[in-house]
Structure 1
Amino acid sequence: MSLVSNTSLTSGQRRDRLAAFRVPVTVALSFAVIAIVIAWSLAPQFFTTHSPVVGVPADKLLGPSLSHWFGTDHLGRDLYTRVVYGTASSVSSALVAVVIGVLFGGLIGLLAGFLGGWVDVVFARLVDVLLSIPKFLLAVIVVTAIGFETINAAIATGVSAIAFFARVTRSEVIKTRQATFVEASFLSGGSRWYILTRHVLPNASRSVLPLAVLQFGESILIIASLAFLGYGDPPPASDWGLLISIGKDYLKWPWLVYAPAFVTIVTVLSVNRISRWLRKTD
């Protein structure tokens, strides 16, 4: 009897473990999209043989076809090639923005939540000021102050995300600091640094990961919007937002807008789906 129960328990544990590793179809498709985007950004020359800068005047404004998947622009350049080569700038700048938000926002939230007292009050007021300004407006203000380049747009986007990471990290740190195992570590003689690095930080960072993934998608949108308004690198750069901005002047050839917009939307939706899945996954 005990052998049967142990066997059934082992089988149940195996099923639970398999269920934990099971990924929904939509999440798997989202990971596939992100993998393609990352591959484009790392090695664009493996995905197209055309030049992103030099076009063929005789081929200008051609519609999508087997030769030109996304059509061609007003200078005869292959639009698919320009989208692929523009991925590196869009992805890298979004990563820079996320890193800035995580590092500075996480540090502010960690210190405010763990130290408390006047430190918490000062940082809380700073976060309230940042949250009172719309993220896109704050990004425009920062990029206007430091210069019109894609890397500056990434820095501006990261600055606009600091307050959100700070608030989430602070709330998680306060919740973790009040946990029983943290109090037990204090009573056992653990130092503040030991408790911060071994207990508080690992537990608080679990909620930051889904937010970082979500911020990555939002950063792509904000940076593309800044490039659309002319706050990014000038032509012949091929940032996704810049491609949409150029395409809007040629509305008779809608693929000039639809192609880069479609890639941007699919990428952001995929990132958002992965973020939602991570929030539900322990």
Structure 2
Amino acid sequence: MTAASLSPLASPIARLAATGRRAARRVPPSVALSLAVVALVIAWALVPGLFTAYDPVVGVPAQKLLGPSAAHWFGTDHLGRDLYARVVHGTASSVASALLAVVIGVLAGGLAGLLAGFLGGWVDVVLARLVDILLAIPRFLLAVIIVTALGFDTTNTAIATGVAAVAVFARVMRAEVIKTRQAIFVEAAFLQGGSRWHVLVRHVLPNASRSVLPLAVLQFGLSILVIAGLAFLGYGDPPPASDWGLLIATGKDYLKWPWLVYAPALVTVAAVLSLNRISRWLRRTD
């Protein structure tokens, strides 16, 4: 029996600590840059007032459609509002929605994959077929269908995006559980008289969850992209909200002033690519 099986939390905590020690010794420059971008985005979401003094809703009509400058880093929009302030204040909604989507995907998909892989039999068959159905529907289309049924706002887009991600987490967790279930220490736990649920919670879950963190980081970036796409199509909160996708949708009507599109689009792309890079790095260091 391995030391990781002594506690449900021992293995993830030890693995995270080991990853942190390795990261402290050597972090690739691209990962360091990605971490800095993600840290900045999170700071924008938590304390936007520290990064801009402009009001994201009320503008100065006399200063409309000004180009990027020292006074207005991202320029101003058609109502004279500082675009940088709108991007910063819109970060909270975009990040919170993506985080909610990831939590839904991890909890629902992880539980489905855990039960399917460990119990097997008809449970595995039923859950596997449900996952296949979800995987057969394009993720963005599934999100559009769900948000149309629930109603147009940011919370519903987060729920729709989370449901669309359930199948991915379920498939990965099921594969990890099946592999872990065949390990020697799991068989030893059964031979020592451990019940199925005891072995599942104390031995299988901590060791099968090693792939969840990199996948969750990757899905976080994908969720930001999907939610921005839904907001672009009008499925999110209406103006004067400043979700990144909504800012891009508004800016496309003023292509003579391209910074209205480029600024929020580049922020979105930078955040998604940074999360993708961090996810790949976590997979390699696991």
Question: If the length of structure 2 is used for normalisation, what is the TM-score?
Answer: 0.92
For 1:56-94, what per-residue CA distance to the aligned partner results, in whole angstroms no more than 9, with x for missing partners? 000000000000000000000000000000000000000
Give 2:277's aligned residue.
273
**Between 204-213 and 66-75, the greater mean CA deviation after superposition:** 204-213
Change (3 A) 1:238 1:121: same
Give the letter aligned to residue 255 of structure 2. L
Residue of structure 2 aligned with 1:172, choices 170, 176, 179: 176
Q: Which one of 87, 92, 96 corresponds to residue 88 of structure 1?
A: 92
Residue aligning to 1:244: 248
Supply the distance in 2 between the matched residues of 1:225 and 1:87 (Cα, whole angstroms): 15
Q: 2:236 aligns with which of 219, 227, 232?
A: 232
Distance in 1 between residues matched to 2:224 and 2:64, nearest whole Å: 28
Distance, in Å, in 1 between the alignment partners of 2:157 and 2:181 is 36
Q: Deviations over 1:18-73 (max 9, x none)?
A: 68731111111111111100000001011001000000000000000000000000
C-alpha separation in 1, matches of 2:76 and 2:95: 23
1:220 to 218, 224, 242: 224
Paired with 1:132 and 1:62, the residues of 2 have a C-alpha distance of 46
The aligned residue for residue 11 of structure 1 is none
Distance (Å, rounded) in 1 between the aligned partners of 2:77 and 2:139: 32
Task: Pick which of 203-212 and 70-79 moved more.
Answer: 203-212
For the pair 1:47 / 2:36, whether they are aligned, the reply is: no
Aligned-residue sequence identity (percent) comes to: 80
CA–CA distance in 1 between the matches of 2:275 and 2:251? 25
Structure 1 counterpart of 2:38, which letter?
Answer: I
Greater Cα radius of gyration, structure 1 or 2: 1
Structure 1 counterpart of 2:18:
none
Find out whether 1:100 has 2:104 as its counterpart: yes
Structure 1 residues 251, 19: closer, same or farther in 2, change over 3 A?
closer
Cα distance in structure 2, aligned partners of 1:104 and 1:137: 20
State how far apart, in whole Å, the 2-side matches of 1:157 and 1:66 are. Answer: 37
Please list every run of 5 or more consecutive structure 1 residues that lacks an aligned counterpart in the other structure: 1-16
Structure 2: how far apart are the matches of 1:167 and 1:211? 11
Structure 1 position 236, deviation (Å): 0.1
Q: Which amino acid aligns with 1:104?
A: A
Match of 1:5 in 2: none
Question: In structure 1, what is the Cα distance between the partners aligned to 2:66 and 2:235?
Answer: 29
TM-score (norm: length of structure 1): 0.93
Structure-2 residue corresponding to 1:58: 62
How far did 1:188 drift?
1.2
In 2, Cα distance between equivalents of 1:164 and 1:43: 32
User: CA, structure 1 residues 115+266, in 2 after alignment: closer, same or farther (shift >3 Å)?
Assistant: same
1:154 to 152, 158, 162: 158
Structure-2 residue corresponding to 1:10: none
The equivalent residue for 1:27 is 31
| Separation of aligned partners in 1, 2:278 and 2:188 | 36
CA distance in 2, matches of 1:103, 1:117: 22
Shift of the alpha carbon at 1:216? 0.1
**Partners of 1:106 and 1:233 in 2: CA distance:** 29
Within 2, Cα distance between the matches of 1:231 and 1:193? Answer: 42
Q: Give the Cα–Cα distance (whole angstroms) in 1 for the partners of residues 87 and 181 of structure 2.
A: 46
Q: Which consecutive segments of 4 or more residues in structure 1 shift more than 4 A?
A: 17-20
Cα displacement string for residues 98-147 of structure 1 (whole angstroms, at most 9, x for unaligned residues): 00000000000000000000000000100010000000000000000000
- Partners of 1:82 and 1:220 lie apart in 2 by 17
Alignment partner, residue 7 of structure 2: none
Q: Secondary structure at the match of 1:74?
A: coil
